[in-house]
Amino acid sequence: MTVLLSGTAVGAVYALVAIGFILIYKGSRVLNFAQGELLMVGAFLAALTTGTGVPLLAAVLIAIVGTALVGFLIESFSMWPLVGRPVVAPIIATLGLAIVMRGVAGAVWGQEVRPIPTLFPDRPVRLLGATVSAVQVGSFAVALALIGLFVAAFRYTRLGLALRAFSSDARAANAVGISSGGALALVWMAAGAVAAAGGVLLAQSGGVSVSTADVAFRVLPVVVLGGLTSFGGAVVAGVVVGVLETAAGTYLNQYVPGGGVQEVAPYVVMLLILIVRPAGLFGNKEIRRA
């Protein structure tokens, strides 16, 4: 039960991070390989801001706004000029951005791990007969709340309606007055904000460093299994990957020299599922007409 609860908590945070991937993919059909670096920037901003004496919640808000601004700058100066180009161009651009952002972060903030104050008390909690940390329970609750708020805003607000219209059919959205540039900028800002929130939650247990960006590669199976465009699918896939990763690390690592099974297991399952369902668990096959 402890493995199940711990994996579910991790999976909820993975699902929150996956939403950033999904947003950008829905808006531009681009898989953003710099999403992990946005997460890293958000976590660093929170850690450094609290180091200056700013209260933690205010620091988190600053990190979210700051990372959203970084997303806006990326879209304005890197992605928007590539609109209309072959899809491989913006994908390669995000890879280049990831390398640059990681290099700049290492040069500015160094390679050491920086702690971040915890949002939750550092004590064990008894839940369903198992013992888990309050950090895990709190991270799970906050991640689910943020996912719920985001999905509600995306579905029921005028801004969310505009973004959904743009992601479904950009030309039709333009015809009714929805600006492509404005919609893409908002998508990247939202992806940056989500990444910052996920980065702060993930940094609760181990601090933040340049390698925090590697979390994106652990979230990628969540995005693919969820179907690339489904928020609900991301939540389910996040829990599946979180539990699988935790179980593999707990029960299988001891039998493999060097360990690392928990990092490989989600990709193995992802590949097996994609053989049967190439669109992912919750994705829909695209119908192309000649």
pLDDT in tens, 35-94: 999 999 999 999 999 888 889 899 999 999 999 999 999 988 888 788 778 878 888 999
Tell me the whole-structure pTM to 2 decimals.
0.88
Tokens of 134: 């309050």
pLDDT confidence of residue 64: 94
What residue segments make up the domains of the chain, in order of their start?
2-212
Helix (H) or strand (E) holding 124: strand 124-127
**Cβ neighbour number for residue 149 with a 10 Å cutoff:** 10
Alpha-carbon distance of 7 to 130, in angstroms, equals 13
Cα dihedral 74→233→126→132 (10° resolution): -50
SS3 content of the chain, % helix, strand, coil (to 5): 75, 5, 20
Alpha-carbon distance of 151 to 225, in angstroms, equals 19
What value does the mean pLDDT take over residues 23-46? 88
Cα 267 from chain centroid?
17
Does residue 141 register a pLDDT over 80? yes
What value does the mean pLDDT take over residues 237-260? 83
Alpha-carbon distance of 37 to 18, in angstroms, equals 13
Which pLDDT band, with edges at 50, 70 and 90, does 289 fall under?
Answer: very low
pLDDT confidence of residue 177: 66
Residues facing residue 208 across a β-bridge = 114
Q: What angle do CA 169, 170, 174 make, to 5 degrees?
A: 120
pLDDT confidence of residue 39: 93
Residue labelled with tokens 């959205």: 173
Cα dihedral 57→14→226→83 (10° resolution): 60
Amino acid, res. 33: F
